[in-house]
Amino acid sequence: MTERVQVACTAAVQTAVEHADDPRILEVTVDLGRLEGMWATLFARREQQQTARTRVVAAAWQQLIDRDAVAVAIDAVRARAGLAEARRPLDGRGAEALAAALALVRALTDRPGWTGLRTALRNAIAAGRAEGMVNAVAIAAERLGPLHVRLGWDIAFKHAYQSLERLDELWAETDTWLARMLDGTADDLGRILARAAEEGASREEMIDAAMDLLTGEKIDSVAFTIDWAMTTAADEGALALYQSEGVQRVDVITAGDGRVCEPCIGYESGSPWSTLDVPRLPTHPLCRCCYAADVSLSHFEAWFA
Ligand SMILES: [Zn+2]
């Protein structure tokens, strides 16, 4: 019993107690058997990589956030609201607060640390995609039966990662995730500034509130974004690998770690899918479901020990 299996067992028993009347509950529990062997390695590796990449991206984000730049944006909101001298309420100034927040967030892209953040996120997405390719081959090997040769996960990952070096599409994906992150940040920041102004907060209090958001709550949302972006990249990597190997039919499997993934159960029971119209995973944030297909391992001999 690894620590991971113990945690999953506890979660499964809780789920079983809560849904004792659900006839499907036994199937969920059966899933736990998969947590040993290949599946345990697969999910543990993903988790480790996501944790490590989140740390790097969060550090790059922290570097961007500068108290002076935040102060400039706050002064702009206060000046427009006529708060420079008097403590007046900011009725109906939500739009101005949002505009200032947008200006602040846009200014982040001109800061010297921006390239570092963009590169860290690109590398995280590349790692997710490479791991997804490795996962696809690991799952295919597992389907060949218990006598399959052992996958050299690290060697396989290195090969897969290197093969992505010139994939421009990774930068496009990176910019999409960054834009999403910045939009969310601007919304949250705008709301906080508007509220602070309405409550008659002082200049320092407003700066503190903005800094708290940008260096606190936003760090949590970086972790959420990395999880989602890397999982998306992993699923794309797996599907692309299956497609490039000429696979016609692919299964969706809800190979969760004890969690039930409601949106994906339907996709699983609809399997196998044609590779052309298979539903795109992940179907929701924190989705751990995977594609699985039969593939000849002859192109991947170097990945096996
Ligand atoms: Zn799912």
Sign of CA dihedral 246, 280, 170, 238: negative
Instruction: Compute the distance from residue 170 Cα to the ligand 1 centre, in Å.
Output: 23
> Alpha-carbon torsion 75, 77, 81, 83, what sign?
negative
| Ligand 1: centre distance to CA 257 (Å) | 11
**Of the ranges 4-13, 159-168, 219-228, which one carries the lowest mean pLDDT score?**
4-13
Residue 16 CA, ligand 1 centroid: distance in Å: 19
User: How is the chain split into domains, by residue range?
Assistant: 1-35, 36-303
Asked if pLDDT for residue 47 goes beyond 60, the answer is yes
How many Å apart are CA 259 and CA 254, to the nearest integer? 9
Q: Are strands 249-253 and 290-292 parallel, antiparallel or unpaired?
A: antiparallel
Distance 291 CA to ligand 1 centre (A): 11
When pLDDT is cut at 50, 70 and 90, the band that residue 124 belongs to is: very high
Pick the range with the lowest mean pLDDT from 86-100, 172-186, 228-242.
86-100
Q: What is the pLDDT of residues 63-74, one digit of tens each?
A: 999 899 899 888
pLDDT for the residue numbered 287: 84
Place 22 in a pLDDT band, splitting at 50, 70 and 90: low
Average pLDDT, the chain: 85
Structure-model confidence comparison of residues 249 and 199, the more confident one: 249
CA of 288 to the centre of ligand 1 (A): 5
The Å distance, Cα 163 to ligand 1 centre, comes to 27
Contact assessment for residue 258 and residue 8, using Cβ atoms and an 8 Å cutoff:
yes
Q: What's the pLDDT band for 30 if we cut at 50, 70, 90?
A: very low
The reported pLDDT for the residue numbered 78 is 82
Q: pLDDT exceeding 90 applies to what percent of the chain?
A: 52
Ligand 1 midpoint to CA 236 (Å): 14
pTM of the model: 0.83
Q: Look at residue 11 in the predicted model and tell me its pLDDT.
A: 63
Q: Residue 40 C-alpha to ligand 1 middle, in angstroms?
A: 17
Question: How far, in Å, from the CA of 188 to the mean position of ligand 1?
Answer: 28
pLDDT of residue 143: 87
Task: Starting at the earlier edge strand, list the strands of the sheet with 290-292.
Answer: 273-274, 249-253, 290-292
How far does residue 282's CA lie from ligand 1's centre (Å)?
6
* 221 or 158, which is more confident: 158
Of 88-97, 148-157, 165-174, 186-195, the least confident: 88-97
**How much distance in Å is there from the Cα of 266 to the middle of ligand 1?**
10
